Structure 1
Amino acid sequence: MTSQVTSRHSTFAVAVYALFHPVPLGFFVAGWIFDIIYLYSTEIFWTQAASWLIAIGLIIAIIPRLINLVQVWVGVSYPQGSAIKVHFWAYLLAIILEIFNAFIHSRDAWAVVPAGVILSTLAVVLMLFANVQLAVRDRTA
């Protein structure tokens, strides 16, 4: 977010968002890595650990997404293709993919592959894309 936009928002909300925003990405990347390890090792521990990481990441993702929802859609009007809106939609889509991924991971360990790995990969790529495009577009703007 640019400094002009953050000054219009609650300082507490911006601080909480900055604190919790990167945490779900870390959990989802760890879950993705554990899915890949399970793909090659077939040790059930890895898929169970990935399942827990995805669930914890989804729980923690609630707080920054709600704050981001208010910051992007209430009060300040951003242009339709702005970096902040693309970031919001990409993260929302990634979280929806991770919700489906959590359901996939609730199955038997053998049933997780390949759908769990594919969903984890797509969600991580979307979240990384969202962060990179926001950083690049804010830097050039």
Structure 2
Amino acid sequence: MAATANRLYRWSLHPLHAVLLAATLTLFLAALLSDIAYGESYEVQWTNFASWLIAGGLVFGAFAFLWALIDLIRADDRRGRPLVYFLLVLATWVLGFINALIHAKDVWASMPDGLILSAIVVVLAVAATWIGFSTLREGATR
């Protein structure tokens, strides 16, 4: 019993939270690829597709953000990994929302800002996913 009293809080993702986070990354990455395809072909449908993918990424990202907020509140130590993860998910969602607003403009007006923001959002989503999936293991130190 005494050994369990000194154990560190093991911050890890719940499987459903992991699915939400992975879906967010996948949708934002697909939106970036759609923006690149538009830049290569100037086919308007690619930008429409990117807009829908960004909207989907925002939906999944909102649930991942709420889950990250709950994990941050429940964490014994609100510094370190839970805080960094929370801030990355928040930054991903906020910039993703701004990207959605840019993609809502005329297709000619949304480029290259939409492409640049899509790339930034994907980098933030990759960082959040990396931090989210790398957890402390039994016996590990902070």
Q: What CA distance in whole angstroms lies between the structure 1 residues aligned with 2:67 and 2:96?
A: 19
TM-score (norm 1): 0.81
Choose which of 7, 11, 15 in structure 2 pairs with 1:5.
11
Please list, as runs of the form range in 1=range in 2, the aligned pairs for 1:62-141 lying within 5 A after superposition: 62-72=62-72, 74-78=73-77, 80=79, 82-135=80-133, 138=136, 141=141
Q: What CA distance in whole angstroms lies between the structure 1 residues aligned with 2:37 and 2:18?
A: 30
Q: Does 1:22 align with 2:28?
A: no
Identity %: 32
Give the alignment's Cα RMSD to 1 decimal.
2.4
Q: CA deviation at 1:14?
A: 2.6
Match of 1:10 in 2: none
Farther off after superposition, 40-49 or 87-96? 87-96
Structure 1 residues 120 and 109, CA gap change in structure 2 (3 angstroms): same
Q: Which amino acid aligns with 1:4?
A: R
Structure 1 residues 60 and 137, CA gap change in structure 2 (3 angstroms): closer
Q: Which amino acid aligns with 1:17?
A: H
Q: Which amino acid aligns with 2:10?
A: Q
Structure 1 residues 114 and 128, CA gap change in structure 2 (3 angstroms): same
Q: Which amino acid aligns with 2:106?
A: D
Q: Is the 8 A contact 1:78 1:85 kept in 2?
A: no
SS in 1 for 2:108: helix
Q: What CA distance in whole angstroms lies between the structure 2 residues aligned with 1:132 and 1:16?
A: 16
Q: CA deviation at 1:83?
A: 2.2
Q: CA deviation at 1:135?
A: 5.0
Q: Is the 8 A contact 2:31 2:54 kept in 1?
A: yes
Deviation string, structure 1 residues 39-98 (Cα, Å, up to 9, x no partner): 1111001000000100111112221211110111x2323252x12221211121011011
In structure 1, stretches of 5+ residues that fail to align are: 7-12
Structure of higher CA gyration radius: 2
SS in 1 for 2:10: helix
Q: CA deviation at 1:127?
A: 1.5
